Amino acid sequence: MNMKLKDGFLLRKIAGQTVVVPTEGDMDLNMMITLNGTGAFLWEKLQEDVNEDVLVAALLGEYDVDEATARSSVQAFVGKLMKNGFLA
Amino acid sequence: MIDFTIGVAGCAAGVRAMFDSTRDFCAEYLCDAEPDFSVAIDAEDLRMERERSAHTDQLEGRAVRRFPDDYLETLAMQRKLAEALFGYDTLLFHGSVVAVDGQAYLFTAKSGTGKSTHTRLWREMLGDCAVMINDDKPFLRMENGRVTAYGSPWNGKHRLGANISAPLRAVCILERGEVNEIHPIVPAEALPMLMQQSHRPSDRSNFQKYMELIGALADGTKFYRLACNMDPSAAKVAFEGMKKGQ
């Protein structure tokens, strides 16, 4: 299954944190989220239409992890995004 | 139409309003400088404020309140000024800010936590040495790595504040607690609160700037978390905790 972030988010590093805020659209415009390093990395990848395997491969290329760990990280992250309405 | 100019956050803002009461509301800030920028409020702005306020009431499960037009005009003006002031490195912030020895201490928290009560304890403890800059919506201007707190006409229901400014020494996130204790926190820990309690742009083109200013605020002052009750000793704990954090 392919997935992609909705439009209308702004990501920025502030005080050592990666912060994302919605700037338009149907999200709560008063919310903010912070991403850890892996989250920020996957967030960038999700600007494009990708599937789970692409994300897992990207993580394996960037971090020193085994595939099972990478896959469960991707699933957990994508699950959170989906649950909170971030995906198009 | 009523035209006047006010000095806020180091800028001169031209205002075109519909009600005389709006100029009276800004009495302490009137000036006759050449405006750096101008805002105008019309009937459509009031309609939008009415809708926003009704929407908030519904979200928070309250009966929808009906506000008079002259009050809505002050809200519309606040919003327009806040938007324009992004261009002058300035954020409108929700909190109670008090100056001691020429340095500003800003207490922030969601409404009803006791910000105003706490700064009242400071005034009771420090007397004339504690000067209220603003009890509700100060402006914070970020310049050259420093933050300055400015008064604004929106000074809360007790109308406490003055047309003055002072360097911001600290932002303190206030929480209720059984005992009074304060500790420094890293800016990252304060970020969610900074973003909840500052005016966010309605205009998408200002978002980049908004995030920059939040970043400059995070880098430009010290942060504390205070758990406090309403006992006078809360002020002593907070003041001494932040004063010694040189």
B175-230 pLDDT per residue, tens:
999 999 999 999 999 999 999 999 999 888 899 999 999 999 999 999 999 999 99
B62-99 pLDDT per residue, tens:
999 999 999 999 999 999 999 999 999 999 999 999 99
Contact B245, B204 (CB under 8 A): no
Residue B246 pLDDT level (bands cut at 50, 70, 90)? low
Q: What is the pLDDT of residue B139?
A: 98
Tens place of pLDDT per residue across chain A (88 aa): 899 999 889 999 998 899 998 887 777 777 888 999 999 999 999 999 999 999 999 999 999 999 999 999 999 999 999 998 899 8
Model confidence at B40: pLDDT above 90 = yes
Q: What is the pLDDT of residue A71?
A: 97
Distance from CA of B207 to the nearest CA of A (A): 7
**B184 touching chain A per CB within 8 A:** no
Query: Which secondary structure element, helix H or strand E, spans residue B228, and what is its range?
Result: strand B222-228
Distance from CA of A85 to the nearest CA of B (A): 19
- Contact at CB, B191 and A34, closer than 8 angstroms: yes
Q: Please report the DSSP string for B60-91 in residue order.
A: TTPPPP---HHHHHHHHHHHHHHHHHGGGTEE
B153-163 pLDDT per residue, tens:
999 999 999 99
Q: What is the pLDDT of residue B245?
A: 65
Phi-psi region of A25 (alpha: psi -120 to 50; beta: other; left: phi over 0): left
Distance from CA of B66 to the nearest CA of A (A): 24
Q: Please report the DSSP string for A10-51 in residue order.
A: EEEEETTEEEEEE-SSSS-TT--EEE-HHHHHHHHHTTS-B-
Please count the residues of chain B.
246
Which residues in chain B have Cβ-Cβ distances shorter than 8 Å to A32?
Answer: 191-192, 195-196
Q: What is the pLDDT of residue A51?
A: 95
Q: Please report the DSSP string for B141-190 in residue order.
A: EEETTEEEEE--S--TTTT-B-S-EEEEEEEEEEEE-SS-EEEEE-HHHH
Task: Output the six-digit token pair for B1.
Answer: 């139409």
The question of ipTM being above 0.85 is answered as no
Contact B64, B74 (CB under 8 A): no
- Contact at CB, B211 and A24, closer than 8 angstroms: no
CA-CA distance, B222 to B11, in Å (whole number)?
25
- Contact at CB, B219 and A15, closer than 8 angstroms: yes
Residue that has been written with the tokens 């005016």 in this structure: B199
Paired strand residues for B2: B17
Q: What is the pLDDT of residue B59?
A: 87
B120-142 pLDDT per residue, tens:
999 999 999 999 999 999 999 99
Question: Taking residues B92-114, what's their average pLDDT?
Answer: 96
**B195 touching chain A per CB within 8 A:** yes
Q: Which of B207, B208, B218 sits opposite A14 (nearest CB)?
A: B218
Q: Indicate the average pLDDT of chain B.
A: 95
Which residues in chain A have Cβ-Cβ distances shorter than 8 Å to B204?
Answer: 23-24
pTM of the model: 0.91
Question: Taking residues B146-152, what's their average pLDDT?
Answer: 98
